[in-house]
Amino acid sequence: MSGHSKWSTIKHKKAKVDSQRAVVFQKYSRELMVAAKLGGPDLSANFRLRTAVEKAKAAGLPNDNIKRAIEKGAGGTDGGNYEELTYEGYGAGGVAVFIEAMTDNRNRTAGDIRSYFTKFNGTLGETGCVGWMFKPVGQLFFDDSNDFEKLFELALEAGADDLVEEMTEDEDGDEIKQYKMITTPENFQKVVEFFDKQGIKPVSEELTRIPENSVEVTDVKIATNIMRLLNNLEEHDDVQNVYSNFDISDDIMAQVDA
C-alpha cells in the first residue's frame, strides 16, 4: 500500500509477523504463476518473473513454493484463468483508493471489494475516477553505504529520473537514511539491469504508484474507517496492491491504533 509513510513501515512490519502468512504467500505465488505463464520460466528472459521471485524471497516464501508456482504457470496447469483488474473508489473523508487485483472470479472479487467500501463509509467508483491521481513509477532503494554523488551520476547515465535522500525506519523502528531512485515504468527494467552490470545491488526495487496529491485526515473516526478499509483490502486473497492518498499525522495514527 502507498499512503502515509508511517503506514508503509507499519504494514511491512506487520507482514513479517502476520498470522495469515498463507494469504501473503498466496499473493506472491499467484504473481509468480501469471508471470511465468505470460513470459516463460527463464528469469534471465522474463523480467517480471525475476522481480516477482525477488519479492517472494524477501517476503519469506520458501524456494520450493517458488519453484512449484513457476512450474504451474509455465506448464499451463495453473495461473491461466487469472485476470488482472483494477478497482477505484473513495474511502471515508474523500481519500482516493486504487486497487490492483488478480482474480479467477471477477464477480466475487468486485462484490467483496464493494462490500468493504460500503462497510467503512466509502464508495466504489467507476474506472478512471481516481486512477489519474496515481502516477506509475519505478523505484530502486539503496542503503547509505553507497556514495550519493556516485549514485547520482550513475542514475543519470542509466536513464533514471531522479535520486533523493530520505529517512525511513528499519524493522526495529530506528530511523535510517536511504536513497530512492525514481524511473519511468518504461525505463525501470533498463535501470535495474544497468546497476546489475555495475555490481551495485539495491535493497529493493518495485513498480508502484505515487499519489499526485494528498488528503489530510484529522478526524480519528474517519482515519479509523480508512485504515479498516485498507486493512480488509490488503488481506483479501485477490488483491495484490492498494494505493491511497491519505495523510494521517502520527498523533492521529496513535489514536487509531489505540
Give per-residue pLDDT as tens, 58-109.
888 999 999 999 998 888 665 558 889 999 999 999 999 999 999 999 999 9
CATH T-level fold of 5-75: Arc Repressor Mutant, subunit A (1.10.10)
How many Å apart are CA 108 and CA 90, to the nearest integer? Answer: 20
- Per mean pLDDT, which range of 19-28, 177-186, 207-216 is the poorest? 19-28
pLDDT number for residue 16: 44
What mean pLDDT value characterizes the chain?
88
pLDDT over 60 (residue 196):
yes
pLDDT number for residue 82: 87
DSSP state of 150: H
Give the dihedral sign, CA 229/235/240/241. positive
pLDDT number for residue 159: 96
pLDDT number for residue 117: 98
CATH T-level fold of 83-132+212-257: Alpha-Beta Plaits (3.30.70)
The answer to whether 139 and 105 are in contact (CB under 8 A) is: no
Percent of the chain with pLDDT over 70: 90
CATH T-level fold of 133-211: Alpha-Beta Plaits (3.30.70)
How many Å apart are CA 22 and CA 28, to the nearest integer? Answer: 10
* Range(s) within the chain of domains with CATH label 3.30.70.980: 83-132+212-257, 133-211
Three-state secondary structure call for residue 177: strand
Average pLDDT over residues 186-199: 95
pLDDT band at residue 146, thresholds of 50, 70 and 90? Answer: very high
pLDDT number for residue 130: 96
* Range(s) within the chain of domains with CATH label 1.10.10.200: 5-75
Percent of the chain with pLDDT over 90: 72
The residue written with cell numbers 466504489 in the block is 124
Distance between first and last Cα of the chain:
21
In the chain, the amino acid numbered 255 is Q
The answer to whether 202 and 195 are in contact (CB under 8 A) is: yes
Q: Is 171 or 43 the better-scoring residue by pLDDT?
A: 43
pLDDT band at residue 232, thresholds of 50, 70 and 90? Answer: very high
pLDDT over 50 (residue 15):
no
